Amino acid sequence: MATNAPTAMKKLLNRVEDLVPESLAGLGAAHPDLVTIDAPNQVVLRAGGPRRGKVALISGGGSGHEPLHGGFVGLGMLDAACAGNVFTSPVPDQMEAATRAVDGGAGVLHIVKNYTGDVLNFQMAAELVAGEIEVSSVVTNDDVAVQDSLYTAGRRGVGVTVLLEKIAGAAAEAGASLADVTATAVKVNANGRSMGLALTSCIVPAAGTPTFELGPDEVEVGIGIHGEPGRRREKLAPVDEMAEWLVSPIVSDLGLGRGDSVLAFVNGMGGTPLIELYTAFNSVARILGGQGISIGRSLVGSYITSLEMAGFSVTLLRLDDELVRLWDAPVHTPALRWGV
């Protein structure tokens, strides 16, 4: 443990300032068959370099949300991920370097979560390569909890980002054009919504203190992925009730009804064990089933986190045959693998 860390904070690190580069180095050491690390630019790249004629996908954002995004670099998902400091956007130079590194001549799609720093910096990166590389972008804004927050203008980009990276990545892997991959990404974003809650806050290493305080019997409903407070504070309740708090606004916002099929994604915020996440999924399944909404595909686990925050989010994506086919397509990344 670093001697310069606050005594109230226990984390696996050497020095706070080395946490992100050492984490990236560890990712590369653990998965050399899947990724390589551009250490100077803090970029995770798909091993083997760019594929000629394939649309490349880039995402990124602040660290602290692992496995998002570096854990999703590989076959059938991302070609590169840019890592900022914890809860801090990467800079345009990183995004420019990633864009140049993965360009295979068919264009590059930037997948951007709707946080002001990410949006502006990805825009600047696209301008830096304009005239040399064709760049398209999609901004995820699936969080139904709040319209504006400390980090955004409009809705935040959260759980749908994982699903979009997988589905658009499958389209790119199959040889779709930049216009078609972008259209697929836009379709996923339009048909997916998310909302989450926290049982505890998280501690940003550089700060050493919780991002908000909760009483022992309180939960924060509608949190974002940067540890920001949510829509309201409630008393701890049975998971059936807490799942209802999240599912109902999503179903309403999407206009889901009897006969619809969804991909149901129950995501852990970083500090919640799988036994509790599957319990939450059971609640979600019962709620949806009671409304005649079927679960065509599912994902359960901690895939877009907020450091060690305990809690969960629910993401629902309205499915059709195309989205099911692309979801089922092979994927092989450090964090997600099937069909290979």
pLDDT tens sequence across 162-205: 999 999 999 999 999 999 999 999 999 999 999 999 999 999 99
Is residue 212 in some structural domain? Answer: yes
Q: Which of 190, 208, 233 is the last residue of a domain?
A: 190
Residue 30's closest CA among 85, 63, 73?
A: 73
Specify whether the CB–CB gap between 202 and 313 falls below 8 A: no
**N-terminal to C-terminal alpha carbon distance within the chain:** 39
CATH number at residue 137: 3.40.50.10440
Q: For residue 284, what is the domain's CATH number?
A: 3.30.1180.20
Same domain, 222 and 288: yes
Q: What is the model's pLDDT at position 195?
A: 96
User: Are residue 133 and residue 148 in the same domain, yes or no?
Assistant: yes
Mean pLDDT, all residues of the chain: 94
Set 31, 65, 69, 110: catalytic member = 65
Residue at which a domain ends, from 167, 190, 213: 190
Q: Is residue 313 part of a domain?
A: yes
Residues 186 and 267 in one domain: no
d(CA 126, CA 35): 23
Catalytic residue chosen out of the listed positions 31, 69, 110, 226: 226
> CA 300 from chain center: how many Å?
13
- For residue 277, being part of any structural domain is answered with yes
94 occurs within a structural domain: yes
Same structural domain, 150 and 258: no
219 and 184: one domain? no
How many domains does the chain fold into?
2
**19-33 pLDDT tens trace:** 999 999 999 999 999
**Same domain (yes/no): 26, 153:** yes
4 within some domain: no
Which stretch of 91-105, 134-148, 241-255, 275-289 has the lowest confidence by average pLDDT? 134-148
- Residue 49 shares a structural domain with residue 125: yes
Tell me, yes or no, whether 219 and 110 share the same domain.
no
At position 325, the amino acid (one-letter code) is R
226 is annotated as an active-site residue: yes
| Residues 178 and 244 placed together within one structural domain of the fold | no
DSSP string, 19-85: HHHHHHHHHHHH-TTTEEEETTTTEEEETT-PPTTPPEEEEEEEESSTTTTGGGBSBTSBSEEEEEE
pLDDT above 60 for 151: no
Residue 331 lies in a domain: no
At residue 130, the pLDDT reads 97
Residue 230's Cβ-count burial label (10 Å; 0-12, 13-18, 19+) is buried
What are the distances in angstroms from CA 331 to CA 90, 167, 197, 228, 326?
26, 10, 29, 32, 10
Listed residues 190, 222, 254: the one ending a domain: 190
Residue 10 counted as domain residue:
no
Identify whether 110 is a catalytic site residue.
no
Confidence at residue 146, expressed as pLDDT on a 0 to 100 scale: 73
Asked if residue 50 and residue 165 are part of one domain, the reply reads yes
Strand partners for 38: 43
Verify that 93 and 154 share a domain, yes or no: yes
Q: Which domain holds residue 68?
A: 16-190
pLDDT at 147 over 80: no
User: Do 57 and 143 belong to one domain?
Assistant: yes
Q: Is residue 204 part of a domain?
A: yes
